[in-house]
Amino acid sequence: MEKGCSCCPRHCGVDRVSRMGFCHAGIEPEVASVCIHPGEEPPLCGEKGVCNVFFSHCNLQCCYCQNLDISRAEVESSRVFYHSLREVVERIESLLPQCENVLGLVSPTHYADSVPEIVEALRRDGYNPTVVYNSNGYDDIATLRRMEPYVDVYLPDFKYMDSSLAARLSNAADYPQRAAEALKEMARQKGSGLLCDERGMAFRGLIVRHLVLPGEVDNSIKVLDWLADNMPSNIHISVMAQYFPPKGATLPPNLQRTLTADEYDRVVRHFDSLGFYNGWLQELSSSDVCRPDFDQQDSFKG
């Protein structure tokens, strides 16, 4: 990594060898879990699941993060299972034969410079998985352009079109602008659709995720409106209802509960009214089951 970190739109400019920026990530990637995850979108996980690499820390630091145990700035050492790229690559190689030969890089933005190293190491060892870049959407255009030869499918969040909400919950008032720019760059690279093989497994394209937050239906509607107005009609959208209040988080009152059926129905009805025809609508009950346990290496096992 070059001195003066500029991996994400925060452009902290710190030398990560000696200092920590907003995300508190050092020069060497810390990884909390490498495991088979059966719960991603169907074209990614198929019947056997995807091998997900969960990076520690995060460049966004949402106060309500579902992976708060590993995404916070100060991550407990007991939750970091891998401290070197070689360890990560070896674990990936042990799992790829057991899953759908899909590699998911979860929250990779602040460690983006390690992505080429991971993918190239796998290729040298004879592995060629479909690489999924699963980010929070707060991505830098220059960083994404460096990812182009190494990523097959982009899986970004699109969290906010309300800049004041983005500032309050993620300390990123410019999120709407930066995420919009990032989505357009991802679509330029891989197309706005999703190319799949004869089994329905994706090998190139873009899927946009949006997590509906309790009490923030208007923001969700604005996100869907932007997608309808600015992206091609064949875009795949995953509308998610799995929000749950993470333990240990300091949250505003509306985020201290899960979604209500009425709130989610309003978002789903708006989704349908805009004519989207590709994507997925999560069950409201998903908030009870989509909860990882980062106390163990296999965070989604059992």
* Cα(288)–Cα(244) distance, integer angstroms: 8
The three-state secondary structure class of 282 is: coil
- Prediction pTM value: 0.94
Please state the separation of Cα 20 from the chain's center in Å: 22
* Cα(183)–Cα(224) distance, integer angstroms: 13
* Cα(272)–Cα(240) distance, integer angstroms: 15
**What pLDDT sits at residue 2?**
47
* Cα(136)–Cα(22) distance, integer angstroms: 15
| Per-residue pLDDT tens digits of the chain, which is 302 residues long | 445 898 999 998 888 877 778 878 888 888 999 999 999 999 999 999 999 999 999 999 999 999 888 877 676 676 777 888 999 999 999 999 999 999 999 999 999 999 999 999 999 999 999 999 999 999 999 999 999 999 999 999 999 999 999 999 999 999 999 999 999 999 999 999 999 999 999 999 999 999 999 999 999 999 999 999 999 999 999 999 999 999 889 999 999 999 999 999 999 999 999 999 999 999 998 887 766 666 665 655 54
The three-state secondary structure class of 203 is: strand
Are the beta carbons of 3 and 66 closer than 8 angstroms?
no
Are the beta carbons of 59 and 23 closer than 8 angstroms?
yes
Are the beta carbons of 155 and 104 closer than 8 angstroms?
yes
**What pLDDT sits at residue 37?**
94
DSSP state of 82: B
**What pLDDT sits at residue 1?**
43
* Cα(81)–Cα(260) distance, integer angstroms: 36
Please give the single-letter amino acid code of residue 270: H
Q: Which two tokens stand for residue 57?
A: 């820390």
* Cα(205)–Cα(278) distance, integer angstroms: 13
Are the beta carbons of 236 and 206 closer than 8 angstroms?
yes
* Cα(240)–Cα(195) distance, integer angstroms: 22
- The beta strand positions in the chain, using DSSP E, are 31-37, 50-55, 102-106, 130-134, 153-154, 194-196, 202-211, 236-240, 279-281
**What pLDDT sits at residue 299?**
56
Q: Which two tokens stand for residue 39?
A: 């719960």
